[in-house]
Amino acid sequence: MSNRDRERSRGVIALVAVLCTLLAAGDAGAQSFDFCGCEGSTNGLGSFSSSDPSTWPPGSTLVNNFYASCEDAIRIPLQPDGDGVLVFDSITVGLDARGCNLSMSFINNKANTPVTLLVKHDVTIQSGGRINVSGFPGGDGSAGAAGTPGGGGPGGFAGGDGAYQIVNLAADGGTGIGPGGGAGGIASTHIPPIGGALLSVPELRPLVGGSGGGGGLSLAASSTCSAGGGGGGGGALLIAANGTIDIQTNGIVWADGGVGGTRGNNTCSSPGSGGSGGAIRLAARTIQGGGQVLARGGNYGCCGEFGGVGGSAGRIRLEAITNTFSASGTDPIAVRAPAPGPLTNPVTPTVRITKIDGNATPAQPIGYLNQIDMLVNAPGAIQIDLATADVPAGTDVEVTVKPKVGGAATSQRVTLASCTAGACAAASSFDLVAGAYIVEARATFQTP
C-alpha cells in the first residue's frame, strides 16, 4: 500500500470516530460525506429512474427481451472516447411498464473501460431491477458456421472462436481474449476448451473485467462438425454512493461470465467454454438489502462427448461504514471492508503495444472484441514494440500471441531496461505463420 493510500485510510478511520461522537450528541446531520468525490461535479446526469425515460442519459434505448423472455434492458452508451464514468444524483431501478425485470446495462466504449457510477445520494435496486455488466454467450456451432466468440461486458474480454475444419480450416479452438483467457480445445488429444479466469487483486484497484473462455474443437472435416464459441468475460463495475446502496430482495447487481456456445455435432465437435466472472466493487455509507450481487463464471455450452470447462468466478468487494447486506447474497463470497477506500490507485501504470512489424498500432485497438486491428505484409519473424509508464525498471513484461483459431498461445517475457523519467521501452519477436492473431502484453509488480 502506498503512503497516499495509508493517509487516505487514516482519514476514513478518523471520519468514523467523529461520526460516533456526533451520533451521541444527536447531531449526525452536521457530518458531511463525499465518498464518490462527485458532490461538486458539474457533469452530473441528475436522478435516474428506470420508470421515467426523461431521466435516462442521452442515447439510451429500451430493448424488450434483451437477455431472455421478460428480461428487458435499458442500454446506456458509454461515451465513445470517455473513461466510463457517469455521475448521478440518485439511481432507482425496478420493473418496467410490461411488468418485466429491467436491467440498467451499458454499451462498451472504444477503450473498453469499466463502468463507474458516482452517485451523490442513494442507489435503490428494487425487486426485479438489475444493474448488469455481464459477458455475452458464445455463438453456437452449426452446419453453416463455427461458433462465434461471445463479447465481454464493459471492461471484460471476448471468448475464443470455435473450430470448424470445413469453414475456418481449424481443428483447435481459439484462446479466449484477456490476461486469463481460456485455452481452446485441442483436437489431436481430445482436450476440451478451458474457461476464462479473472486476474485481479482483492482491492479491485485497478478495476479489470473477466477474460473469455476458449473455443471448442473440431475432429473432422465434415458438415456439422462445428464447435461452439467461448463465452465473454463479465465486465467491471464500480458504484460509489455517498448515501445508501439498497439491493432489495430479487434485485441483482450482475457481472457473470457468458456461457459457451453449443456444438454442431456431439460426436465430432465440442462446445465452447464459459467466460470468467467480472469484478464488482460497491462503496457507500450504508449497504443493505436481501438481493444478490453476482460475478459467477459462465458454464460451458451443452453438450457433447468432449464436454468443456466453465469460467472461474470473478471478485466482489463491499465497502461501507454500515453493511447489513445479506451474507449469503453474494456469489462468490464478497470481501468486506469497514469503510470506503480510495476509488483509484495513486499511480496508474500502463503497458502499450506501440508497433507491430514496424507499423504503429491503432490508438484505440479493438482486438479485445476478437476483431482485426491491422495487417502484416508477410509471415515470419515479427517484432512487437512496447512502451510503459509508471512501471518500475527491471519489471518483466509478458507478451502473449494467441492464434485467433487453430493453435495454442505462446508467450515471452522481456525485462524493462530502457527507461527515462518513468517511461520504459522494450521489444520482443515472434515467428508467425500466416493467419490471424491477438497480441497482449501485461506487467505484474508490487508497489511499495
pLDDT of residue 85: 96
| Residue 19 counted as domain residue | no
pLDDT of residue 18: 32
Residues 203 and 304 in one domain: yes
pLDDT of residue 8: 38
pLDDT of residue 12: 33
pLDDT of residue 304: 60
Domain-ending residue, one of 345, 378, 400: 345
Domain-ending residue, one of 345, 377, 403: 345
Q: What is the pLDDT along the chain (448 residues), one digit of tens a residue?
A: 444 443 333 333 233 333 333 333 333 333 458 989 999 888 899 999 999 999 999 999 999 999 999 999 999 999 888 899 999 999 999 999 999 999 999 999 989 999 999 999 999 999 999 999 999 999 999 999 999 999 999 999 999 999 999 999 999 999 999 999 999 999 999 999 999 999 999 999 999 999 999 999 999 999 999 999 999 999 999 999 999 999 999 999 999 999 999 999 888 999 999 999 999 999 999 999 999 999 999 999 876 667 678 999 999 999 999 999 999 999 999 999 999 999 988 888 899 999 999 999 998 888 877 778 888 877 899 999 999 999 999 999 999 999 999 989 999 999 999 999 889 999 999 999 988 899 999 998 876 6
pLDDT of residue 445: 83
| DSSP bridge partners of 247 | 125
**Domain at 437, CATH number:** 2.60.40
| Residue 317 counted as domain residue | yes
Residues 66 and 209 in one domain: yes
**Separation of alpha carbons 448 and 445, rounded Å:** 10
pLDDT of residue 305: 65
Domain-ending residue, one of 345, 370, 398: 345
| Residue 9 counted as domain residue | no
Question: Do residues 354 and 424 lie in contact, with contact meaning Cβ atoms separated by under 8 Å?
Answer: no
| Residue 1 counted as domain residue | no
Residues 283 and 356 in one domain: no
Residues 280 and 301 in one domain: yes
| Residue 12 counted as domain residue | no
| Residue 108 counted as domain residue | yes
Boundaries of domain holding 407 = 350-443
pLDDT of residue 20: 32
Residues 162 and 293 in one domain: yes
pLDDT of residue 1: 40
